[in-house]
A and B are shown apart, each in its own frame.
Chain A
Amino acid sequence: MSAQPPLIDISGLSVGFRGRSGAMLPVLHEVDLAVCRGESVGIVGESGSGKSTLALAAMGYLRHGLARLGGAARFDGQDMFALAPPALARIRGGKLGLIPQNSGQALTPTQRIGTQIAEALRLHCDHDPATHRTRARDLLAQVRLPDPDTILRRYPHELSGGQQQRVAIAMALAGEPEALLLDEPTTGLDVTTQAHILALLRGLARERDMAMVYVSHDLGVIAQVCDRVHVLYAGETVLAGPARSVLTAPSHPYAAALLAAIPRLGARTLPRALDGRPPTPDIPRTGCAFAPRCALATDDCRAAPPPMAETRDGQRARCLYPEKVASPAPSESTAPGAATDGPPLLSTRALSVRYDSPGLLARLRGTPRPPATVEGIDLTLRHGETLGLVGESGSGKSTILRAIAGLLPPASGRIALEDGTDLATSAERRRPETLRRIQMIFQNPDESLNPRQSVGDILAQPLRLYFGLHGQPCHDRAAELLETVRLGAHYLDRLPGQLSGGEKQRVAVARAFAAGPEAVLCDEITSALDVSVQAAVLELLGDLKARHGTGFIFVSHDLTVVRALSDRVAVLYQGRICEAGPTEAVFAPPHHPYTDVLLGAVLAPDPDHAPRLLAEDAVELAPPARGCPFQRRCPVKRGAICETDTPPARQTADGHVIHCHIPLDELHALEGKQAAS
């Protein structure tokens, strides 16, 4: 660390809110954070750990209902909580920039990008307004947006998520900031986009010698961009230290557990779940906040809160037994077996889905229809097998699931059950018995659970519908189902709003299993969850699969999760299958160029791992009319043939299929070259 005074200096900060009982409940508990110029610090923790509150407090801002109980937050020597509003307003957005979560959506939808950047310039610069246009163009060039003049004239909805995020970064740069606060800067972006944005941020920090504070639940992101890491648990810093040592040999059991909960691309084992949940602020503290979930906890831990102490490699941790904390080891829990050769349970043949419907005029004129959103999908799910569907947003993964579930009638193609009978296109026309056998779990449990129904009512729906259960038997069965997802019977009377994200998703899993299904369709079911909770849900699915022999179609944008869970994988781009086969084969070379791009962009919680940025993170709104779906972004495009001819299906030696014009041995050679460069 340098000798200069820290730019952002938070010391002993405690923040709390008044609970229903009238007592002051702490959200942050005597937290220290110091960030110097040119330094990047990551704040990590589960949701509710107070990490966003801490970042906002650095600006002297507290969310409604929160109050400062003690401590100070200084920026460049000034006490942010004591400054007058005009002085505060000059610093915020000026010298101290904030890039909020989902900042793309924070852009005003009715204003052109140029107007919005000009506004940021007007507020925070003394430049002549005539130069704003040039400045805005400079800023867009700095965030590496191609063709800034066009972008300035666009509206936010005309940009991709990654481009919106770049514009938000450009606006934060307008005030010539000396420090940037980034709240989950890449959450919700595709992996390839995420890797590009992080590379950009890292470059900007170096060029401008800025202090950066990253708030993220994703240790992979932190590993990419941060020099130091603070791990927050229940509003307390439990571990702080250099990123490299924290991520490789953490000296606090919570950090070790978080690391173990991350699925890794290299390992085909399920991540290890972290049991329990963080304490709520209303529980009075006696000992270490993490003790109830800690395997190392002793009576000493529960008696008094451990002090912050030097441990090893420059780390400081709040733990009595830092030497006992083992480096994260992968769990031995149910790794998926080799792909089974069981009888097919569910299959689709040449499935295609369209969202557009041509108007009368277009039909009369004979205007050619745009290519189908999803086309030519052949999938087979066998009994007791997990089929992973991977792809970025817009790849049609969820569309396929909805078509199989009967929620979205396909334009053509067949969906068949094992006996070969075709399923009706819409759920309303399928037989109850058929519907029972296929259940779906949705991405966001806030959306898929009716907020007005108690957990008991939610679970009673399928029980009543498929088994005619009422009254006590229904209640008993619902309680039993809650046990299988490791929730107690006392949850029956709760409303979804009273559950945490992970608990809600478990209820959704229990509801799907209430039907006794043979195939379960999982639509990004862990993407809204914390890593620790994600690991628990994945473990639960593995468990249920082993116990009931259920087949899963598991849709995810996260390659590591898919790899950990799936027996077979299909990689989708723009609604077309690029590559499909047994998981091991798909994740081993040769790859389809798109799979290669995806794999290269995956982040690992390892400071030595750098993602490879191959393709541009451009957005594609519609698939190309002819040829290969990936033609426009492919880094190894062959030329005209890719634009005109549908790529042939090439079968590899290890039993998987790649749809590409490039012969397999050449693909293999290309990847070797790119990895080396």
Chain B
Amino acid sequence: MSGAALSTAGRARGVLRDMMARPSGAIGLTLVTLHLALALASPWIVPYDYKSMDATGTLTGPSAAHWLGTDHLGRDVLTRVMLGGREALVITGIATPVAMIWGGLTGVWLGLRGGWPDEVAMRVVDAFLALPGILPLLVLITVFGTGGEVLLPTLAFFFGIPVIRVARAAAHEVVARDFVSAARARGHRPFDIVRREILPNVTDTLLVEGAMRWSWMLLGFSALSFLGFGVAPPRPDWGLMVSDARVYMSLAPLGVIAPVVALSTLIIGINLTADALAKTLGLDRSRKAVI
């Protein structure tokens, strides 16, 4: 119904306003917006070509020509830092929603269905969660090779598993309420019950969870790059840059510090945003007084 659509848009605007009113939300949203803007605009505003090497000026310190100095191949660090988040943002930016959707829907369905499928699925989830996160990722990448077409589904799959648990817990709380019983007693199909009754009530939880997952996925992606399983050289990537520059850390510390600062600010920004979002949504808006 049009009224509901209107109220959804209005609600999103209200949430955004409330988030900006909190210090964590204001800082977080600013950091994330800056990073996104930089990632979009960087190909046109970088001072150098990220591939162009200069054998005469390797590992130099900051100068007027190279603000953040150059790396061991004489490439401009500033250029590479500005471009270094693009691949990570694109891949995790797609993989996170995919992870949220498959993990979220599976979790909600399990929460509604209950019984043996729930029991079996949750034990599988437990088994996956018992493994150190990076290990299964490494195995898959070793088998199928690196590159976005492998990284994206792999990340989306593994980061979706913990989402199942969160979505199932959130759905459990909703399923126990009488409006779900009422829908069951009327005879709605499970798909309709999930879509109309449960999802609108777990979206908030999933949104906050999604923001947290995104920051973890960025870290995971950078770790893979650092280990040499992520972005292939010579393309710039923060994890790869840290990996390359750490050998020369005593000569040109900015080669390590700059990508680390870039990655940290993005992750801190996302975490702060998630925190503000959680606090804003925690105060249930549909129960706010009308006067």
A interface list, Cβ under 8 A from B: 19-20, 25, 280-282, 402, 405-407, 427-428, 430, 432, 435-436, 438-440, 442-444, 447-454, 456-457, 460-462, 465-466, 475, 492-493, 495-498, 511, 515
A–B complex contacts, Cβ < 8 Å, 25 sampled? A20-B291, A25-B291, A280-B291, A282-B291, A402-B181, A405-B185, A407-B181, A427-B186, A435-B185, A439-B185, A439-B186, A440-B185, A448-B177, A448-B182, A449-B179, A451-B286, A453-B200, A456-B3, A465-B186, A492-B3, A495-B286, A496-B286, A497-B286, A498-B290, A515-B186
Decide if B187 touches A435 in the complex (CB within 8 Å). yes
**Contacts of B159-174 to chain A: CB distance below 8 A:** none
Q: A436-B187, A442-B182 are in contact. List 6 more A-B contacts (CB 8 A).
A: A443-B178, A447-B178, A461-B183, A461-B188, A492-B3, A511-B182
Cβ-closest chain B residue relative to A402: B181
Q: A430 vs B187: C-alpha distance in the bound complex, in angstroms?
A: 8
Cα separation A457 to B286 with both chains bound (whole Å): 15
Distance (whole angstroms) from the CB of B12 to the closest CB of chain A? 14
Contact call A456/B1, Cβ cutoff below 8 A: yes
The residue of chain A having its C-beta at the shortest distance from the C-beta of B197 within the complex is A450
B187 touches A452 (CB 8 A): no
Instruction: Give the complex CA separation of A456 and B3 in angstroms.
Output: 9
The CA-CA distance from A314 to B200 in the complex, in Å, is: 56
Cβ contact within 8 Å between A427 and B4: no
Question: Shortest distance in angstroms between A316's beta carbon and chain B's nearest beta carbon?
Answer: 30
Instruction: Report the Cα distance A444→B184, complex, angstroms.
Output: 17
Q: Is B196 an interface residue (CB 8 A)?
A: yes
Contacts of B154 in A (CB 8 A): none
Q: Are B286 and A452 in contact (CB under 8 A)?
A: yes
B201 within 8 A of A: yes
Contact: B291 with A19, CB < 8 Å? Answer: yes
Which residue on chain B has the smallest CB distance to residue A460? B1
When the two chains form their complex, are residues B185 and A427 in contact, meaning their CB atoms are under 8 A apart?
yes
Q: Closest approach, in angstroms, between the C-beta of B123 and any C-beta of chain A?
A: 18
Please determine whether A451 and B201 come into contact, CB atoms closer than 8 angstroms.
yes
Cβ of B119: which chain A residues have Cβ within 8 Å of it? none
Q: Is A427's CB under 8 angstroms from B184's CB?
A: yes
CB contacts (< 8 Å) of A19 on chain B: these are: 291
Q: Is the CB of A453 within 8 A of B196?
A: yes
Contact of A407 (CB < 8 Å), options: B184, B188, B201, B290: B184
A104 to B177: give the CA distance in the assembly, Å. Answer: 23
Cβ of A454 and Cβ of B4 under 8 Å apart?
yes
Instruction: Chain A residues near B197: list those with CB within 8 A.
Output: 450
Q: Check A462/B185 contact, CB under 8 A, given A456-B3, A496-B286.
A: no
| Cβ contact within 8 Å between B291 and A447 | no
- Nearest Cβ distance between residue A30 and chain B, in whole angstroms? 21
For the complex, give the distance between the alpha carbons of A436 and B187 in Å: 8
A634 to chain B, nearest CB (A): 34
Write the B1-27 contact mask toward A (1 if CB under 8 angstroms, else 0): 101100100000000000000000000
B3, closest chain A residue (CB): A493
- Please give me the residue from chain B that is nearest to A281 by CB atom: B291
Give A515 to B4 CA distance when docked, in angstroms. Answer: 22
A52 to chain B, nearest CB (A): 16
State in angstroms the CA–CA spacing of A203 and B183 once bound together. 49
Specify which chain B residues have a CB less than 8 angstroms from the CB of A439 in the assembled complex.
185-186
Q: Within the complex, what minimum Cβ distance (angstroms) separates A243 from chain B?
A: 34
**Contacting pair A457 B284 (CB below 8 A):** no
Contact A497 B188 (CB under 8 A): no
A432, B1: Cβ atoms closer than 8 Å? no
- Residues 131-187 of B at the A interface (beta carbon under 8 Å): 177-179, 181-187
